[in-house]
Amino acid sequence: MTILRRLAHALPFHYALGRSSNLQGLAASMIKLWERCEVAKIALKRDAHNTDSELITEEVKELTGGTLLSRDKESIVFYRGKDFLPPAVSLAIEKRRKLGSSTIYKAKPGIEESMPTQNDSVLKVSSDVSVHVREEGTSVTENRAESLNTVAKDVETRLSQAIAEKAKAEKLIEELEKASPLSKAEVRETISEDERYMLRKVGLKMKQFLLLGRRGVFDGTIENMHLHWKYRELVKIICKEHRLEDVEYAARTLEAESGGILVAVEKVSKGHAIIVYRGKNYKRPSKLRPKTLLSKRDALKRSLENQRCKSLKVHVLKLSKNIDYLRDQMNSSYYHKDMHDPSVNSVTLQQQDEVNIF
Cα–Cα separations (whole angstroms), residue 29 to 26, 32, 53: 5, 5, 19
Q: What is the mean pLDDT of residues 5-24?
A: 81
| pLDDT in the model for residue 126 | 45
Banded pLDDT at 197 (limits 50, 70, 90): very high
pLDDT in tens, 37-63: 888 888 888 777 767 778 888 888 888
Q: What is the mean pLDDT of residues 157-185?
A: 57
Q: Beta strand pairing status for 234-239 and 271-277?
A: antiparallel
Amino acid at 198: M
Per the CB < 8 A criterion, the answer to whether 263 and 224 are in contact is: no
Instruction: Return the minimum-mean-pLDDT range out of 153-167, 199-213, 231-245.
Output: 153-167
Banded pLDDT at 172 (limits 50, 70, 90): low
Three-state SS annotation for 30-69: HHHHHCCCCEEEEEECCCCCCCCHHHHHHHHHHHHCCEEE
Q: What is the mean pLDDT of residues 262-266?
A: 93
Per the CB < 8 A criterion, the answer to whether 218 and 294 are in contact is: yes
Residue 216, by phi and psi: left (phi above 0), alpha (psi -120 to 50) or beta?
left
Q: Does position 149 have pLDDT exceeding 50, yes or no? A: yes
N- to C-terminal Cα separation, the chain: 122
| pLDDT in the model for residue 316 | 80
| pLDDT in the model for residue 338 | 61
Q: How many CB atoms lie within 10 A of CB 42?
A: 22
The rounded percent of the chain whose pLDDT value lies above 70 is 68
Instruction: Return the minimum-mean-pLDDT range out of 82-86, 151-155, 308-312.
Output: 151-155
Banded pLDDT at 260 (limits 50, 70, 90): very high
Burial string for 137-168 (b: 16+ CB within 10 Å, else e) reads eeeeeeeeeeeeeeeeeeeeeeeeeeeeeeee
| pLDDT in the model for residue 212 | 92
